[in-house]
């Protein structure tokens, strides 16, 4: 960034607004990486958590767990049985272990730009030039990290997403080795990319044909894009689903694996370890119950309201960008969207650099202006977003592009040189 990023220390919040220690107010479209679907300080949620701490729920652990699992079963179409853990990472690792135990095979397929958690075996994988047989282990995935134990990504094949012929080719060649296909059903982490028509159906068909477990990682999409997650939107049922983030309202960490009885029953046969001191902890279960009760009240109409408010915010964002000569687009869904900078074909060569810069700059300028978005370019709304929040966004967004536009303009020139945004702000009159 051409300026030093400001450290923000939040001290409180209500609805879709947060307050920092200097008394500044922010519109929260970051929602803790999408987890905070209820917004902040929802009294219905707080009361339920307080009851759980002081009342029967704290000791009545088993009942709470069963009721939370029953609610998930009621909403998530493929959930016949459910088990709980704490983080999305754990849920994904457990789902892979389950798939291996069920199929007696060890490898799995995952996809470029998808993210499944902070574990060595989930960061990186084996790739090729798509002329299989597969090459040596590769460590160049964008989610890669230093410090991994050697060989931990050996079992993962990294493929391009939305490419059914390649998946078909690899599954056909290696079906005797592959236990699972692991995918975000909407690739939010890779930029809000929707599955092509028929892609998820094709995946389902290929997994059936090759005896491979299909895992939908709905840690982001679950209870965010609707009560039934992406699988309900597309009508394609995975064998296993991983859930986390929004499921417990964002204040408490809880994740889950949900799936087909035949596979999940391996746990009951005591063939698979599912360790975790706090698995199914009472407060987390109470948080799931409270969240799902709030989200499902009134036939889940809060999702329509959230989508409508967020659509108005996205429209205002795109309109403001256009007013300043910038060509942004929004991908994904109203409830989980990602913005990208798009430009004309004459700029194609410079586009990746300009695009990354514009996105980063825009996110930072938004924070400067009092609007928080997630992980650079994602808009995660909450059901707390209301008309006043939309109005606040509309009021402030021009200031953002007043800061961003001159910098992007310079990037487009032959020799980009940066001046400090504070000067740009002073000249442009932004706050
Ligand atoms: C799709 C997806 N799966 C899994 C994870 C990992 O979840 P956690 O950070 O709770 O371990 C994430 C986290 O962002 C995610 O986006």
The CA dihedral of 20, 22, 24, 29, to the nearest 10 degrees, is -20
Q: Contact 393/320 with Cβ under 8 angstroms? A: no
Q: For residue 160, what pLDDT is reported?
A: 86
Pocket test for ligand 1, best of 186, 229, 244 (most atoms within 8 A of CB): 244
Residues contacting ligand 1 via CB (< 6 Å): 33, 87-89, 92, 115-118, 184, 189, 217, 219-220, 244
Residue 356 vs residues 45, 79, 113, 188, 373: alpha-carbon distances, Å = 38, 38, 15, 17, 15
**Top-confidence residue, 216 or 170:** 216
Residue 176: inside a domain, yes or no?
yes
pLDDT tops 80 at residue 237: yes
CA 323 / ligand 1 centre spacing (Å): 36
Nearest CA residue ID for atom 8, ligand 1:
88
CA 89 / ligand 1 centre spacing (Å): 6
CA 91 / ligand 1 centre spacing (Å): 9
* DSSP structure class, residue 184: -
What is the torsional sign of CA 52, 284, 228, 179? negative
What is the torsional sign of CA 232, 235, 236, 238? positive
Lowest mean pLDDT, pick from 100-114, 120-134, 356-370: 120-134
Measured from the CA of 88, which atom of ligand 1 is nearest?
7
Q: Contact 115/34 with Cβ under 8 angstroms? A: no
Residue 91 vs residues 44, 65, 255: alpha-carbon distances, Å = 27, 16, 6
* DSSP structure class, residue 194: P
Give the DSSP letter string of 243-280: E-GGGGTTSS--EEEEE-HHHHHHHHTT-S----TTTT
Residue 56: inside a domain, yes or no?
yes
Nearest CA residue ID for atom 13, ligand 1:
117
Query: How many C-beta neighbours within 10 Å does residue 326 have?
Result: 19
- Nearest alpha carbon to residue 396 among 423, 362, 426: 362
| Sole residue written with tokens 């044909």 | 209
- Nearest alpha carbon to residue 424 among 319, 410, 152, 326: 410
Nearest CA residue ID for atom 3, ligand 1:
116
Q: For residue 202, what pLDDT is reported?
A: 98
Express as a percent the part of the chain with pLDDT over 90: 68
Domain hosting residue 266, numbered range: 43-295
CA 171 / ligand 1 centre spacing (Å): 25
CA 245 / ligand 1 centre spacing (Å): 8
Pocket test for ligand 1, best of 117, 238, 278, 380 (most atoms within 8 A of CB): 117
Residue 89: inside a domain, yes or no?
yes
Please give the biggest Cα pair distance in the chain.
Answer: 70
Q: Contact 402/429 with Cβ under 8 angstroms? A: yes
Give the phi and the psi of residue 157 in degrees, each rounded to 5.
-100, 125
**Top-confidence residue, 131 or 248:** 248
Give the phi and the psi of residue 274 in degrees, each rounded to 5.
-130, 75
Nearest CA residue ID for atom 4, ligand 1:
116
Residue 179: inside a domain, yes or no?
yes
- Nearest alpha carbon to residue 257 among 102, 118, 76, 113: 76
Residue 336: inside a domain, yes or no?
no
**Top-confidence residue, 353 or 369:** 369
Q: For residue 357, what pLDDT is reported?
A: 81
Q: Contact 158/124 with Cβ under 8 angstroms? A: yes
pLDDT tops 90 at residue 149: no
Measured from the CA of 89, which atom of ligand 1 is nearest?
11
Residue 412: inside a domain, yes or no?
no
Measured from the CA of 117, which atom of ligand 1 is nearest?
6
| 395-416 as b/e: b if 16+ CB within 10 A | ebbbbbbbbbbbbbeebbeeee
How many Å separate Cα 294 from the centre of its chain?
Answer: 21
Q: For residue 218, what pLDDT is reported?
A: 98
CATH number at residue 52: 3.40.640.10
Nearest CA residue ID for atom 2, ligand 1:
116
Strand order in the sheet with 125-126: 81-85, 255-259, 240-243, 213-217, 178-183, 107-111, 156-159, 125-126, 137-138
Q: Which residues, including other chains, have CB under 8 Å from residue 329's CB and lie 6 or more apart?
A: 318, 339, 340, 342
Measured from the CA of 114, which atom of ligand 1 is nearest?
1
CA 403 / ligand 1 centre spacing (Å): 32
CA 106 / ligand 1 centre spacing (Å): 22
Q: For residue 220, what pLDDT is reported?
A: 98
Measured from the CA of 255, which atom of ligand 1 is nearest?
10
Q: Are strands 255-259 and 178-183 parallel, antiparallel or unpaired?
A: unpaired
Express as a percent the part of the chain with pLDDT over 70: 85
Cα–Cα dist 34/290, whole Å: 17
Q: Is 95 helix (H, G, I), strand (E, B) or coil?
A: helix
| Sole residue written with tokens 């200031």 | 399
Q: For residue 4, what pLDDT is reported?
A: 67
Pocket test for ligand 1, best of 89, 122, 255 (most atoms within 8 A of CB): 89
- Indicate the number of domains in the chain: 1
pLDDT tops 70 at residue 351: no
Cα–Cα dist 146/64, whole Å: 40
Nearest CA residue ID for atom 7, ligand 1:
88
* pLDDT tens readout for residues 284-340: 999 999 999 999 999 999 999 999 999 999 999 999 999 999 989 999 999 999 998
Residue 396: inside a domain, yes or no?
no
Residue 206: inside a domain, yes or no?
yes
Measured from the CA of 253, which atom of ligand 1 is nearest?
10
Q: For residue 55, what pLDDT band results from cuts at 50, 70 and 90?
A: confident
Q: For residue 145, what pLDDT is reported?
A: 79
Cα–Cα dist 72/80, whole Å: 9
Active site residues: 115, 217, 245
| 244-266 as b/e: b if 16+ CB within 10 A | bbbbbbbbbbbbbbbbbeebbee
Residue 115 vs residues 138, 389, 402, 406: alpha-carbon distances, Å = 16, 30, 33, 33
Q: Which residues, including other chains, have CB under 8 Å from residue 114's CB and lie 6 or more apart?
A: 161, 182, 183, 184, 187, 189, 190, 217
CA 246 / ligand 1 centre spacing (Å): 11
Tokens read off for 329: 């687009």
């Amino acid at each position: 960034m051409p300026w030093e990023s400001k450290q923000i220390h939040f001290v409180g919040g209500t609805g879709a607004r947060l307050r920092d220690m200097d008394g500044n107010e922010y519109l929260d479209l970051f929602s803790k990486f999408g987890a905070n679907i209820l917004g902040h300080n929802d009294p219905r949620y707080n009361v339920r958590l307080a009851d759980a701490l002081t009342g029967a729920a704290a000791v009545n652990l088993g009942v709470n767990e069963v009721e939370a699992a029953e609610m998930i079963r009621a909403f998530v179409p493929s959930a016949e049985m459910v088990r709980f853990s704490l983080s999305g990472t754990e849920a994904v690792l457990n789902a892979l272990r389950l798939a291996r135990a069920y199929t007696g095979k060890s490898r799995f397929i995952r996809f470029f730009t998808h993210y499944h958690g902070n574990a060595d075996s989930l960061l990186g994988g084996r790739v090729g030039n798509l002329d299989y047989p597969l090459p040596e282990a590769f460590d160049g995935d964008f989610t890669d990290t230093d410090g991994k134990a050697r060989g931990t990504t050996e079992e993962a094949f990294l493929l391009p997403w939305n490419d059914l012929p390649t998946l078909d080719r690899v599954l056909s060649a290696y079906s005797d080795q592959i236990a699972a296909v692991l995918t975000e059903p909407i690739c939010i982490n890779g930029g809000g990319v929707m599955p092509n028509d028929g892609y998820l159906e094709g995946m389902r068909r290929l997994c059936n044909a090759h005896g491979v477990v299909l895992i939908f990682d709905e840690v982001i999409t679950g209870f965010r894009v609707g009560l039934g997650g992406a699988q309900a939107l597309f009508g394609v049922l995975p064998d296993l689903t991983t859930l986390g983030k929004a499921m417990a309202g964002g204040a408490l960490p809880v994740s889950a694996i949900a799936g087909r009885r035949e596979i999940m029953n391996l746990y009951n046969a005591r063939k698979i370890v599912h360790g975790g001191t706090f698995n199914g902890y009472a407060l987390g279960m109470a948080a799931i119950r409270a969240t799902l009760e709030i989200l499902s009240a009134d036939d889940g109409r809060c999702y329509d309201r959230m989508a409508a408010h967020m659509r108005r915010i996205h429209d205002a964002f795109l309109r403001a960008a256009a007013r300043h000569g910038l060509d942004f687009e929004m991908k994904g869904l109203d409830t989980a969207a990602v913005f990208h900078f798009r430009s004309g074909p004459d700029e194609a060569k410079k586009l990746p650099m300009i695009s990354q810069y514009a996105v980063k700059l825009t996110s930072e300028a938004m924070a400067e202006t009092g609007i928080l978005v997630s992980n650079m370019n994602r808009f995660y709304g909450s059901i707390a977003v209301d008309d006043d929040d939309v109005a606040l966004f509309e009021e402030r967004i021009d200031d953002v592009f007043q800061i961003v536009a001159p910098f992007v303009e310079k990037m487009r020139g032959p020799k980009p040189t940066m001046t400090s945004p504070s000067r740009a702000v002073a000249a442009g009159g932004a706050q």
